[in-house]
Chain A
Amino acid sequence: MNFWDISVKLLDGFGITCLLFILTLVFSLPLGLIISFGSMSKFKPLSWLCRTVVWIIRGTPLMLQLFVVFYVPGMLFGVRLFTGDDGRFLAALVAFVINYACYFSEIFRGGIESIPKGQYEAAQVLGMTARETFFTVIMMQVVKRILAPISNEVITLVKDTSLARVIAVGEIFFVNEMDFLSRGLVWPLFYIAVFFLVFVGVLTLLFGWCEKKLSYYKV
């Protein structure tokens, strides 16, 4: 097996890694915002529910959550939720989205609560509705403030995707383990590092650029 073949196989696996990464972001960011509203809600049962969920998800290993999502429905209820060729990928996606939504929700909560109360009062005086206040006044300020912690989570997510291999999702580490490591080829393991370094490098540049674009009120 030559360098070219190995690159193609690893790229295949990295495709799955990227897909898992992107889809997780797409679904977990909005879900995280909803959970953060839930945990800030004045309706106590809802805020307790959300905070308990966040506690459980942040308090248990992601690997365990992958097992629970993929195996438990079938074992306890006899339901095959994730069947077919994409079943394992979907199960991993569900686990990742729930997990990351909880982490994001706390970042959002921190960001939203950091905006001075006076701004809400000022908006009210100007006759803005709660919705208008949030979307036109508060949200962009929050985005600016939370960009750095979000970038941290996003970069962690890139590397966390490798955990999906515990339920045999064909991401890059699984491909490597099954096709190369098991045959005694060790160097592809270090080759994989290059994939991640490049990907995270691009993300870092992207976040740096965003931060610059958003720093328009700084003198």
Chain B
Amino acid sequence: MKRIITLMLAVVFVLSMAVSFSACGEKSDWETVKEQGYFVCGITVYAPMNYFDDDGNLTGFDTEFAEAVAKELGVEAKFQVISWPNKYMELDSGAIDLIWNGFTYGLESDGVARTEYVDFTYSYLENRQCLVTKADRVEELNSADALKGKKAVAEGGSSGEGVANELTGEDNVTTFTSQASALMELIAGNADFAVIDYQMANAMVGKGDYASLSINNAIEPESEVYAIGCRKGSDLTAKINEAIKTLYENGTMATIAAKYKLTNDLVTDLGAAE
């Protein structure tokens, strides 16, 4: 009995070691994607980028954009809802292939350039950070001074977190796993203001579940752009860039942008983010 158990344990141990080292065959990202027939985009759910329509289907600008790129490459696009602060871990472990969810080309909240962690494709959409407060407090919180020392919420690891840190100091900023949950905090009255993407605020704030909130123009942050984040050194970056170029040339990008009323924000000068 004891010998059998010892043997079984030994076998399990050896097997687990074998699995972890034998499977190290190096294949490039594009080869893997081509072979399996799909790439996985890491997303959080928010309008207008990736959200569920009334029938429960995933839709949105980034959703259609990713599907168009996938079609161009002859593969399928899959979407995986992730916890945004885990995005680099998801990417590096291969659990997702792309960070494609209104991903700002710029700095992490601690000031480190995101290019340290990912390779960016061409940028495709303009954005800026946007202040959101309760509708009845817009008058009161009308300047950068009024915001100082107030309680802020933002998505962890987002550009908005950096802006919030500057406005009110790091100690007053609480972060959440998605922009939507940051807004929830605001509705619940646990914070004075939130900093999220303008594109999201524009599509969601003031309507439906977010009717009690309002965009607040007390600050004017610099404009920024969205790009797709690929694993460092991945050959997928070039492939996607090619596809994006084609989609611009044949007018698909303009069509998708028009559908989501984003025509004015569409980046026209390809390669600006490189």
Contacts and interface: CB of A to CB of B under 8 A. Distances in A.
Contacts of A77: 20-21, 23-24
Interface string B150-183: 0000000000000000000000000001101101
Contacts of B90: 71
Contacts of B117: none
Interface stretch (A103-111, A176-184, A206-214): A176-184
Interface stretch (A33-41, A117-125, A155-163, A190-198): A33-41
Given A70-B93, A87-B95, A185-B209, A178 B81 contact: yes
Interface of A: 34, 37-38, 41-43, 46, 49-50, 67, 70-75, 77-83, 87-88, 130-131, 134, 166-168, 174, 177-179, 181-186
Contacts of A82: 95
Given A37-B2, A43-B6, 8 more contacts: A42-B2, A71-B89, A71-B92, A71-B93, A78-B26, A79-B19, A184-B209, A184-B210
Contacts of B8: 34
Please report whether the interface of chain A is mostly helix, strand, loop or mixed according to DSSP. Answer: helix
B187 interface: yes
Contacts of A81: 19, 23
B253 to A, nearest CB: 28
Contacts of A178: 45, 81
Best-surrounded residue of B9, B20, B24 (most CB of chain A within 10 A): B9
A185 B209 CA distance: 8
Contacts of A79: 19-20, 23-24
Interface in B63-106: 80-83, 86, 89-90, 92-95
B181 A181 contact: yes
B187 A74 contact: no
A67 B90 CA distance: 10
A37 B5 contact: yes
Contacts of A181: 180-181, 184
A75 B184 contact: no
B89 A34 contact: no
A49 B8 CA distance: 14
A72 B93 contact: yes
A168 B80 contact: yes
A155 B19 CA distance: 33
B15 interface: no
Contact of B9 (A46, A134, A179): A46
B248 interface: no
